[in-house]
Amino acid sequence: MSNTRLHLNPGDPIGLLGPQDWMDAAETRAVVAALQAEGARVRFVGGCVRDALLKRPIKDVDIATPDPPERVLALLDDAGIHAIPTGIDHGTVTAVIGKAHYEITTLRVDVESFGRHARIEYTDDWRADASRRDFTMNALSADPEGNVYDPFDGIADMAAGRVRFVGEPEKRIEEDALRLLRFFRFHAHYGRGIAMETRALNACRRMADRLKGLSGERVAGELVRLLLADDPTPSLLVMHSHGILAHILPEAKEFGRLRTLAWLERRGLARPEIRPDSMRRLAALLATDRAGALDLGERLKLSGVQAKRVAAMAAPRVHVGFAMDGPATRRALRKVGGDEFRDLVMVAWAARRSTEARPDAAESRCWTALLDAARDWQPVELPVKGRDLLELGVPHGPRIGSLLAAVEAWWEDLDYRPDRSQCLDRLRGLMAAGL
């Protein structure tokens, strides 16, 4: 961003965004033209402006307008743009052009607050609307020409790696306790180290018990986003040291393992199948057993698949270590499959490396060989079935299961090399021996 004028008045722009693909996109221009067709001036708000200034990828494009939502719907309809009244009671409409979605919200002020919910009125005051934002870096806005507005010095806070509430931290957390978790999540993504804005941190510590009133889904949503930061560990350590994390994740103990895993996922490994993974990072952070992990999944309302995956890493069904030989690796892969085995290797490697004084190159090659094995694994099945025993004259009953188990153990001991003919011969031999 380049400075173009002195910031003499609170409502003046403080600078100009450079060219932005998302602003220049035909879909964006069409939506802006529709909203401004009868003279209203709109701005891009929140995350898209913040991340554009930081040269980060833009995920969502949000727009604010002084027009009420009914007028927004009419303007979009006049322009032939599909509009969905996604949150019309709160002033929000979504414009859809192809795969592009734009959330458009009418400028608002809170007339009366009821915790998370508030009675609102529409306004044309941009600063009043910005004052409803949680953090100063989220109160930024930019007009379609790229002029940037920064009513609460959010750019200075971003430059300092500082997450700061708009207004009094206690009041903002009283309005919605989820903002307490958002503070740490935003610090994980935009802050630096463990240094945090003092007033905000003190308010979070004093009001941490309010987290108990949040639903598991809302807690999990913030926790998952926090865990996907480049290195979530500094923020989590501060939460832990101030007694905040205990309210939502008392099982969190393995901070060194998490930090190492995050490093492996982000920088240590250049493998397309290894990407930052919130459930893997959550499992690496926990010190619990399978029952505890499943209980956590219920508490956070994780999906069944997510909860089982975390439990599988918290209480592995197979032992994974860098010294595993080929047959042991293949036996483990056959038991748990390639995806679960990969998770176990990553968590075990992170645990091992977090305690090493100096990484060992030979050991690292062993760990990567295990990842190769997980990537290349093709499931194998015992070449014989129960019907083969029936054809050999074994009647229905428990003996069929016993014979199959015996031949499978033999087949596995020989590293799955015996073919169907050899397995049938083995079955005949077991039958002749009276098994």
* Structure confidence by residue, pLDDT tens digits, 25-80: 999 999 999 999 999 999 999 899 999 999 999 999 999 999 999 999 999 999 99
The answer for residues whose C-beta is within 8 angstroms of residue 74's C-beta and 6 or more apart is: none
The whole-chain average pLDDT of the chain stands at 93
Is the pLDDT at 141 greater than 50? The verdict is yes
CA distances from 299 to 214, 283, 292 (A): 11, 15, 10
Q: Which domains does the chain have, with CATH numbers?
A: 15-159 (3.30.460.10), 167-250 (1.10.3090.10), 253-379 (no CATH), 386-432 (no CATH)
Is the pLDDT at 7 greater than 70? The verdict is no
Question: What are residue 383's DSSP bridge partners?
Answer: none
**What pLDDT score does 113 carry?**
59
Of all residues in the chain, the percent with pLDDT exceeding 90 is 89
Question: What are residue 106's DSSP bridge partners?
Answer: 65
According to the 3-state scheme, what is the secondary structure of 96-148?
Answer: EECCEEEEEEECEEEEEEECCEEEEEECCCHHHHHCCCCEHHHCCEECCCCEE
For 410, other C-beta atoms within 10 Å of its C-beta total 16
In angstroms, the CA 435 to CA 188 distance is 61
* Structure confidence by residue, pLDDT tens digits, 112-134: 555 555 667 999 999 999 999 99
Tokens read off for 323: 């010294």
**Contact criterion met (CB below 8 Å) for 141 and 43:** yes
**Contact criterion met (CB below 8 Å) for 108 and 95:** no
CA distances from 350 to 121, 263, 284, 336 (A): 51, 9, 8, 20
**DSSP label at residue 404:** H
Question: What are residue 43's DSSP bridge partners?
Answer: 64
Pick left, alpha or beta for residue 147 (phi over 0 → left; psi -120 to 50 → alpha; otherwise beta).
beta
Averaged over 360-381, what is the pLDDT?
95
Cα angle 52, 267, 325; round to 5: 150
Q: Which position has the higher pLDDT, 118 or 298? A: 298
Q: Residue with structure tokens 């945090």?
A: 196
In angstroms, the CA 86 to CA 88 distance is 6
Is the pLDDT at 225 greater than 80? The verdict is yes
Measuring CA to CA, which residue among 117, 88, 121 is closest to residue 107?
A: 121
List the single range of 9-13, 134-138, 247-251, 306-310 with lowest mean pLDDT: 9-13
For 421, other C-beta atoms within 10 Å of its C-beta total 10
**What pLDDT score does 1 carry?**
60
The answer for residues whose C-beta is within 8 angstroms of residue 226's C-beta and 6 or more apart is: 181, 184, 185, 188, 189, 232, 235, 236
Helix, strand or coil, per DSSP, at residue 155: helix
**Sign, CA torsion 263/266/268/272:** positive
In angstroms, the CA 253 to CA 241 distance is 11
Tokens read off for 140: 């930024």
In angstroms, the CA 227 to CA 210 distance is 21
**Sign, CA torsion 47/49/51/52:** positive
Cα angle 218, 110, 106; round to 5: 85
Type of residue numbered 166: V
- CA-only gyration radius of the chain, Å: 29
**Contact criterion met (CB below 8 Å) for 99 and 61:** no
In angstroms, the CA 359 to CA 357 distance is 7
Helix, strand or coil, per DSSP, at residue 373: helix
